[in-house]
Amino acid sequence: MNTPDALDELIACRLDAGRKALEPCSVVIFGASGDLTARKLIPALYHLHLEKQLPPAFRVLGVARREKTDAAWREELREALGRFSRTQPVNEEAWHQFAAHLKYCRGDLTDPATYARLKETLAAAPDPSLQQNLLFYLATLPSQFAEVVRQLHQAGLLQRDAGKGWQRIVVEKPFGHDLASARALNQELARHAHEHQVFRIDHYLGKETVQNILMFRFSNSIFERLWNRESVDHVQITVSEKNGVGERGAYYEEAGALRDMVQNHILQVLALVAMEPPVSLEAESIRDEKVKLLKSIRLPAPEEVARHVARGQYFAGVVDGRPQPGYRQEPKVRPDSNVETYVALRLFVDNWRWSGVPFYVRTGKCLPLSASEVRIQFRPTPHVLFAAACNGRLDPNALTLRLQPDEGISIRFNGKVPGINLAVRPVRMHFSYDSEFGAYTPEAYERLLLEALAGDATLFIRRDEVECAWRIVDAIRAGWDGKPLTNREFYAAGTWGPVAAEDLLAQSGHVWHEPRPVK
């Protein structure tokens, strides 16, 4: 007879057995001197090496414009690892083993000679697999994506139909700045690579708690039966950030909260929460259902946007007891900027499961705390039995998926207060990832790099997903065109957003539920 622990171990073994073995390969990072490489990519690869997740034979080649030796690049990365590694102190023996696989290749990304040198370096590898199995990571400016892919193709390093081995491209966000630019970039990439070779990254999909949404929904019958319009009153998705834009003012002036967060992270979470069950766990089956869901989101006409969307911009306030300047006082921000640092939307999914159920999503800068969560609020029960005990108001049941920090799942229900009187009070049952599974949670980039090396596109964004998301964002921006922010759309730094966002929910008799601070 299997004990629960034995069953858990058996399931884990089966999952490990189904994981595709990684082949020897070379990882080429364009933008090797950039912040993303130092903060995320190299630490992620180092940890995969430390945990013996990488193949025995691998190489990491960095391409950037600055002049430096292999030794100088390795020294820079070691210093960055000391600051950004999730395990401290750094294992020096493992680092030296890993560093031996690092090589630097200098060159301008617009110069064909750079790619000729890269090709020579790759061809010098002793193992044929290191020459043929190539992962190109574009940690560059978005404006350089198409140029790098075109140059790789012309140099013979990227082929649509590789005779031997494989070649894949990992593309960072933002992927375009509207539907037209995203389509143009997709078409340019498609000239030189098949869709199955392109891995559009959204680091949110690499988070363990985001991946757990599908597991939670489709492996638990008690919740799956409630996941529809018959039981759910509305859904709230909150992604709040305590920090202001800081040094990212120039980028934010071009993007704003809608493009920066809603188009990718939030719509991806919404798709996972609301999609239909896929026919299998294959990448294309899951991505098919996400696309169907995104296509089902009702697009507001420009004149309807003000009724369904609230935007906002923070002015000077206090966050964590420290003064915070307003957005218009941030570096590289126009003093009369109309860019939104906060956005809240009421979305409707026009399909059988969710007809009539509002999905409220919001994100913003300079809010009281940084947190991401999904709240499923269920329809209230009739108040006939307990009307007197609860003064005519009985709190609705709710289920909250906390994505970060303090990752976990909470269920809110009503219970009787001990005593001789019939008093009702909402109580909470909470599941904590740390308590159940331990504190270890791999960084999102570790999982995403591992999946890209294995060729599994489940956690990456398909071409039609990107375009569906931009169609929604463009419809909203069309309603904002030429309209300045109003007084009800400004909010003090350190508060939960503008009055306009409260008005948005009040139209339907709903209120926002704020994330709980981490204890």
Which residues are annotated as catalytic?
265
* Both structure tokens of 451: 């999946």
- Please name every residue paired with 236 in a beta bridge, in sequence order, or none if there are none: 360, 375
Other Cβ atoms within 10 Å of 71 Cβ, number = 11
CA diameter of the chain: 84
- Cα gap 320→318, rounded to integer Å: 7
Task: Return the closest-CA partner of residue 443 out of 198, 87, 136, 29.
Answer: 87
- 408, β-bridge pairs: 402, 432
- Across 81-196, the runs of DSSP E, i.e. the strands, are 102-106, 134-138, 167-171
Measured CA distances, 289 to 349, 395, 418, 471 (Å)? 13, 33, 46, 17
Q: HEC profile for 175-219? A: CCCCHHHHHHHHHHHHHHCCHHHEEECCHHHHCHHHHHHHHHHHC
Asked if 499 contacts 233 with a C-beta cutoff of 8 angstroms, the reply is no
Secondary structure (DSSP) of 346-381: EEEB-STTTTT-EEEEEEESS-SS-EEEEEEEEPPP
